[in-house]
Amino acid sequence: MLLFVGLGNPGPQYAGHRHNVGFMVIDAIARHYRFAPFKPQFQGEVAEGRLPAPNGAVRVLLLKPLTYMNLSGNAAQAAAHFYKITVSGITVFHDELDLEPGQIRVKSGGGTAGNNGLKSLVAHIGPDFRRVRIGIGHPGDRARVHSHVLSDFSRDDHLWLDPLIGHMVEAAPLLAGPDPNAFATRVALLRERASAPPKAKPE
């Protein structure tokens, strides 16, 4: 079994925040692949299901910690311990200030770049989990970072955000494979196809 963790804060007042993009991706994966309904467990909400793969479907546990961002590691550690999932089997979706809006990067290990959710995860499960970094852009002033991440995506943001989440969902089965770059490559290809002008029909 693999563990996919989305970072965010619980409650309807936070649902549209940039900081909650991890929750948004997890919810979209659950809907698209018809995972079981979310249920409370491990200080969070979890849903179990399967992602298609060439050698057979892969079991995946989706987790949205309900501990607020700063304590996300508590829930991830509890779920991983219960299901005996090693850190290499954990993928975390989170917002990234240091990437332009709509950019994504995938890597295993590394620092936390000041993200308190990542700090908590590193403290509880170590640094070597896979990260799907979803760019939300930097407001340009450190004093504005807090209000930036804890504010809703704008209407214009949704012009790139909604298609991006759709592409990430379609590519999600590749996260069950050994090559972390395959997921990002597939998302880039889907975005390129979506933005390409339609081909002219022969007359």
| Residue-level pLDDT at 180 | 73
Which regions of the chain are under pLDDT 70?
196-203
- Give domain status of residue 202, yes or no: no
- Detail the DSSP E strand segments found in the chain: 2-6, 39-41, 44-51, 58-65, 90-96, 104-108, 130-135
Structure-derived torsion over alpha carbons of residues 23, 26, 27, 28, reported in degrees to the nearest 10: 120
| Residue-level pLDDT at 55 | 76
User: Is 146 a known active-site residue?
Assistant: no
Q: Could you read off the pLDDT of 66-115 as tens digits, one per residue?
A: 999 999 999 999 999 999 999 999 999 999 999 999 999 999 998 887 88
Q: Say which of 17, 19, 94, 167 is annotated catalytic.
A: 19
- Give domain status of residue 22, yes or no: yes
The domain containing residue 131 runs over which residues? 2-195
Structurally, the chain folds into a number of domains equal to 1
- Give domain status of residue 201, yes or no: no
Check which CATH number belongs to the domain holding 132 and give it. 3.40.50.1470
